[in-house]
Amino acid sequence: MKITLLGTGTSQGVPVIACTCDVCRSSDAKDKRLRSSVLIENGESTVVIDSGPDFRQQMLRSQVNSLDGLVFTHEHKDHIAGMDDIRAYNYVLKKKIDVYASSRVQDALKREFPYIFEDMKYPGVPEINLHTLNNQPFRVGTIELTPINVLHYRLPVMGFRVGDFTYITDANYISEEEKEKIRGSKVIVLNALRKEPHVSHYTLDQAVELIEELGVERGYLTHISHQLGKFNDINSELPKHIQCAYDMQVITL
């Protein structure tokens, strides 16, 4: 299985518009972060988790020419705003695209993209097959995903386990029951917004502590803000088996 981290930044990305901090002015490519998203491929099927505002750019730079399913973690704009661009896949693949989301996220999609769901559709709008996620494992092509329920302050968010890989973005609480779904993973990608406390995201220390608690072999930190610091500086502070992720990083399992 091949995992590509399409974006590893927070809702504003890095650099942030009009910011002149050292991180936003960094010339290191690993300090340039699009909004968080991940691509999962197994040689037969291709899945993308979340389509934020940078979805088009991410698909182009990763040369994703086929898409079997788009899966959503939650309804915040930095995770759903780019869904309109799946219409390119409708045209190329000549089929509807399967979209997977909870009932609550589906309601948000209908508010954000009402033209997709109208009975009398404008020609050329995205064509999708909408699938409702609950707590049960599901398949996109030949890739099986197991939902992991986490909280983003009070907002329910879904993480996902795919084989030995776990992906969790936008979280600051995971119940003991849901943690059991993560244990045994070889790799986890987990959000770590900054060092200072935040109402709805894990801090750097909290993310590291959770990875250690769960006993995961390798941890990569995502959904990173410019407030965390530069890639190389933060990595020098971390345990060897945990590191900041970066855009276009490839993980194989």
Domain count, the chain: 1
Q: Is the pTM of this model over 0.95?
A: yes
Q: What is the DSSP string of 82-146?
A: TGGGGHHHHHHHTSPEEEEE-HHHHHHHHHH-GGGS-SSPPTT---EEEEE--SS-EEETTEEEE
Cα separations in angstroms, 142 against 24, 47, 74, 159? 40, 10, 23, 19
Per-residue pLDDT of the chain (253 residues; tens, 9 = 90+): 999 999 999 999 999 999 999 999 999 999 999 999 999 999 999 999 999 999 999 999 999 999 999 999 999 999 999 999 999 999 999 999 999 999 999 999 999 999 999 998 889 999 999 999 999 999 999 999 999 999 999 999 999 999 999 999 999 999 999 999 999 999 999 999 999 999 999 999 999 999 999 999 999 999 999 999 999 999 999 999 999 999 999 999 9
The CATH number that applies at residue 164 is 3.60.15.10
Please give the residue range of the domain that contains residue 216: 2-252
